[in-house]
Amino acid sequence: MQLSKTMISMFAALLLVAGIARAEEKIVKIDGSSTVYPITEAVAEEFQTAKRGAIRVTVGISGTGGGFKKFCRGEIDLTGASRPILKKEMDACREAGIQYVELPVAYDALTVVVNPKNDWLKSITVDELKKIWEPGAQQNVTKWNQVNPAWPDQALKLFGPGADSGTFDYFTEAVVGKAKSSRGDYTASEDDNVLVKGVTMDKGALGYFGYAYYAENSQKLRAVPVVPAAGKPAVAPSPETVKNGSYQPLSRPVFIYVNAKSLDKPEVREFVDFYLNQAPQLVAAVKYVALPEQAYQLAKEHVAKKKLGTGFGGESEVGVSVEELLQREGKL
Amino acid sequence: MTPAPTADLRKLIARHRLWERVFTIVGLIALLIGLLVLLGLFTQLAVTGAPRLTPEFFTSFPSRIAEKAGILSAWVGSLLVMLVTACSAIPLGVAAGVYLEEYAPKNWLTAIIEINVMNLAGVPSIIYGLLALGLFVYQFGFGQSILSAGLTLALLILPIVIVATREALRAVPGIIREAAYALGATRWQMVSHHVVPYSAGGILTGVIIGLSRAIGETAPIITIGALTFIAFLPTPPVTGEFPFLSFQWLKDPFTVLPIQMFNWTSRPEEAFQLNAAAAGVVLLVMTLAMNALAIWLRYRIRRKIKW
């Protein structure tokens, strides 16, 4: 009796070990930015349909920074990033011996939006945006006519993403001139739908977020054309103006970073190739702007040659073209 | 005798009656506020989500197209995580509760432990998530898996299970214990043959309330790294080849219903809000069903006990 019990428990333990020790499945692990997520999700969905589930793909949302943390610990194969890898993240990766290929996959256009009832703002200059958003404006610039005397004496309500977002980093860099330098007295939310709701409710509201959220809500919001510099014409955000480079400085490329060691695994390589092949259609389907065809070709060559490193020196740049970026020497 | 005292008494009684009525109304309003808000929310969710509550919704994976997206990976994930949670929290919690109530000597040490168990029940869930990230995910190397998530939620509801177990044990009259001892039972026989079976209803209620709290938890699960897009199911536990049983699913990546819902609410497309509402209805129904099960079990078990 006692003996048989022992045997049963030993058998159960054996089963447990046998179960856990089974060979690893083919799996591609992805994490990173919520901005890149819709594109990656679309690619992952199509990829799994195409492979009939032979290769598993998982996508998480940890944000650009959170994604790089996991990436540099070697926990994931790919990470999505709405800004280039930063100096301290490069250091973390180097220390862990993680090398990577940087691939731009799409453009995102930060869109400045106002309430449709706003009838005074036909276009806005970068200087005016700076006047509204710079840290010094906190508590001081609270009415429209304080920015431009031609505008009415109406309360200015501001909406924007929170400080953890790559969108926030890029906007502050492009408008104020220094990343993360912004006034703090605005309604901040990581959930862009909250921002959309806020701007629709208030005639004096102004907000900014990614183009996809504007495109889905273009009936409820009005996008404001941006004047890049004095004397230049105002440009409204649209797939065309982003592609031809005239919507500046608020359009930016978004990236995926691929672990070089993972790229040797056939399933990861296959996924990345699939990503770059399908990107033109899928990027447009999720309301982002596709890169020029040539850029995807260059990116594919980079994957084939395993060109390592980032084209940036560990900090964001405003207004860099993707082709130029792909020509640059990679830094690790 | 003057008539005044009677009149005064009447007035006094009338005043007391008035207060009685006032409190009845206030109490009723307080009750209705809670109920109506919940009912209103549920109705709104149900009405919004109704068009999506089709069989396909339960059998499809998430997708970028709202009409095609479903909750298959999410509800399977939730179910498996709950299974791990139940399998670890119930034995641990009940054993701890029985020990504290029936075995532990009553001294300052057990008093401190008791107070701390109570306090643990009030610790914010994100703290458990951070603990689990360090302990289960990295230290023990379980990774971002169903096992880690289940154990995290088990930790989270352990205090609830312990407290409920102790309350249930305390409700068993002392004479039962004495009667068992009088017949020569050991403490273990007394506990396992009498006290625990009699208090099973209360223990089960506590367990299920704990589990229904766990099923809606998002913060600790996100902390340990549940995924958002996952279009495959965990490895099935039964396989066609020897040894026929597989525990690979414990190590598989997963997602759960609250996370899927959260992801859908933050989508730009309006259509995903319907999916989120439908997923909310499923989650609420799952929770309510668990609570109903608790009530039914308690009723069943109470009916069997004859003292």
ipTM associated with this complex: 0.74
H or E stretch at A113: strand A100-114
Domains, chain A: 23-107+253-327 (3.40.190.10), 109-243 (3.40.190.10)
Domain boundaries defined on chain B:
4-51, 53-304
Quick one: closest CA in A to B266, which residue? A191
The pTM of the whole model exceeds 0.95: no
Average pLDDT over residues A7-26: 51
pLDDT of residue A83: 86
Answer yes or no: are the C-beta atoms of B64 and B130 closer than 8 Å: no
Say if the Cβ atoms of B268 and A217 lie within 8 Å: yes
Q: Which residue has the tokens 């005074």?
A: A120
Cα B31 to Cα B37: distance, rounded to the nearest angstrom: 10
Residue B228: DSSP 8-state = S
Plot region of A231 (φ>0 → left; ψ -120 to 50 → alpha; else → beta): left
Contact flag B229-A44 (C-beta cutoff 8 Å):
yes
Q: Which of B36, B14, B11, B50 is nearest to B275 (CA)?
A: B50
* Preceding amide of B243 cis, omega within 30: yes
Q: Hey, are the CB atoms on A193 and B266 less than 8 Å from each other? A: yes
Please tell me the distance in Å from A116's CA to the nearest CA on chain B.
18
Strand residues in B40-137 grouped as ranges (E): none
- C-alpha dihedral over A247, A165, A253, A237, to 10 degrees? -20
Residue A295 structure tokens: 């850029």
CA distance A246 to B99: 73
Give the H or E element holding residue A78.
Answer: strand A78-81
- Single-letter amino acid, residue B268: P
Contact A60 B245 (CB under 8 A): no
**pLDDT at position A12, please?**
52
Q: Which candidate, B257, B266, B253, B258, places its Cα nearest to that of B224?
A: B253
**Closest of A207, A200, A111, A115 to residue A152, by C-alpha:** A115
Contacts of B177 (CB under 8 A, 6+ apart): B190, B194, B195
Q: What is the pLDDT along chain B (307 residues), one digit of tens a residue?
A: 555 678 889 999 999 999 999 999 999 999 999 999 989 999 998 998 888 888 888 988 888 888 888 899 999 999 999 999 999 999 999 999 999 999 988 889 989 998 998 888 888 889 999 999 999 988 888 888 899 999 999 999 999 999 999 999 999 999 999 999 999 999 999 999 989 988 988 898 889 889 988 998 888 888 887 777 888 888 877 766 667 677 888 888 888 999 999 888 888 788 888 999 999 999 999 888 888 888 888 888 878 776 6
CA angle A213, A216, A221 (to 5 degrees): 75
pLDDT, residue A237, reads 92
Q: Nearest by CB to A192, from B63, B250, B268: name it.
A: B268
Q: Residue A19's pLDDT band (boundaries 50, 70, 90)?
A: very low
Q: Which residues of B277-307 are buried (b: 16+ CB within 10 A; e: fewer)?
A: bbbbbbbbebbeebeeebeebbeebeeeeee
Name beta bridge partners: B39. none
pLDDT digits (tens, 9 = 90+) for A221-253: 999 999 988 788 899 999 889 888 888 889 888
Interface contact flag, A193 B63, Cβ < 8 Å: no
Positive or negative: CA dihedral B26, B28, B31, B37: negative
Would strands A124-125 and A226-227 be described as parallel, antiparallel, or unpaired? parallel
Enumerate the residues of chain A whose CB falls inside 8 A of the CB of residue B232: 48, 53, 56
Query: Distance (Å, rounded) from C-alpha A259 to C-alpha A77?
Result: 5
Question: Which of residues 48 through 77 in chain B touch A, CB cutoff 8 A?
Answer: 61-64
For chain B, say whether A53 makes contact (Cβ under 8 Å). Answer: yes
Q: How far is CA B160 from CA A165, B111, B202, B256, in A?
A: 37, 17, 12, 22
Which band of pLDDT confidence, cut at 50, 70 and 90, is reported for residue A9?
A: low
At residue A8 the predicted structure's pLDDT band, cuts being 50, 70 and 90, is low
Quickly tell me which residue has 């994931």 as its tokens.
A76
**Cross-chain residue pair B235–A287, CB shorter than 8 Å:** no
Q: Is a pLDDT exceeding 60 seen at residue A24?
A: no
Out of B63, B243, B265, whose CB is closest to A45? B63
> Would you give the DSSP letter of residue B66?
T
Run of H or E including B19: helix B4-49
Sequence-distant (6+) residues with CB within 8 A of B83 are: B150
A242 touches B293 (CB < 8 A):
no
Residue B52 per-residue DSSP state? G
Q: Of A22, A45, A192, which is closest to B64 when you measure between CB atoms?
A: A45
Nearest-by-CA chain B residue for A11: B243
Q: Is the CATH number of domain B53-304 1.10.3720.10?
A: yes
**Residue B240's pLDDT is what?**
67
Burial class (CB within 10 angstroms; exposed 0-12, middle 13-18, buried 19+) of B14: exposed
CA dist., res. A57 & res. A26, Å (int): 9
Angle, CA A77 vertex, CA A74 and CA A81 arms, to 5°:
95
Residue A186 has which token pair? 């605005």
**Separation of alpha carbons B235 and B77, rounded Å:** 11
In tens, the pLDDT along A97-137 reads 999 999 999 998 999 999 999 999 999 999 999 999 999 88
Neighbours of A282 (CB within 10 A): 23
Higher pLDDT, B228 or A202: A202
Give how far Cα B24 sits from Cα of B19, B20, B60, Å. Answer: 8, 6, 50
